[in-house]
Amino acid sequence: MIESFEKLPGVGPKTAQRLTFYLLHVPQSELDKFANSLENLKKNTILCSNCFMIDEKDPCSICSDSQRDQSTLCVVEQPLDVLALEKGRGYKGLYHVLHGRIDPLNNIGPEEIFVNQLISRINKQESIIKEIILATNPTMEGEATAMYIAKQIKSQNEKVKITRIGRGLPVGADLEYADDTTLQRAMEGRNEY
């Protein structure tokens, strides 16, 4: 158990030990629940074929929610960014999860993330989608990714509005660590890109 915990990101040997001994004091029923969700974590989750969010069903619960604004797409790097933005409750549109960012130093090009899928989604729903919010992280790679995507969209579709969130977000930071208020402000203060 200690060895397994040690393999998790951000967990050192000391924490791994502490977590393991903590679990020894947790009621068996809780442990069973934990073990069960761990066992089914990958079996029961799939990628939404529309937005590539991780969910238990396809289309995901966000895409299949008819109450949401179908005319706005928010493009994020990771599924965790969706969770962070959803916590703020200010955004009511749909998402597109790239599952990464363009990062030439680590050999990650546009083909390695879900960019083409985004472009064809926009082209297919040309009459519905009115705005694309680029919410990649305000890091060098995130900016480069936003720039690349904006260029791709503009070359194929002149009508759709492209905006970029930013105001209030610390430069170099990850979206998932920003607090709800900052994220909401960044979303409200998005600029034409």
- Where does this chain bind Zn ion (CB under 5 A)? 48, 50-51, 53, 60, 63
Kind of pairing, strands 161-164 and 191-192?
antiparallel
Smaller CB distance to Zn ion: residue 97 or 169? 97
| For Zn ion, the closer CB: 73 or 134 | 73
Q: How far is the CB of 135 from Zn ion (least distance, A)?
A: 16
| Rounded Cα–Cα distance for residues 143 and 21 (Å) | 43
Which residue's entry shows tokens 């009621």?
Answer: 27
Minimum gap (Å) between residue 97 Cβ and Zn ion = 8
Nearest to Zn ion of 133, 169 (CB atom) = 133
Judged by beta carbon, residue 121 or residue 185, the one nearer Zn ion is 121
Q: How far is the CB of 142 from Zn ion (least distance, A)?
A: 21
Q: Read off φ and ψ for residue 93, nearest 5 degrees.
A: -90, -160
* CA neighbor of 164 nearest in space, from 155, 176, 151: 151
| 87 contact partners, CB below 8 Å, separation of at least 6 | 180, 183
Give me the least distance between CB of 7 and Zn ion, in Å please.
30
Nearer to Zn ion, 16 or 98 (CB): 98
Q: Helices (DSSP H) in 24-179: which residue ranges?
A: 28-40, 79-88, 115-124, 140-156
Bridge partners of 97, per DSSP, are 76
C-beta of 83: minimal distance to Zn ion in Å? Answer: 13
Q: What is the CA radius of gyration of the chain?
A: 19
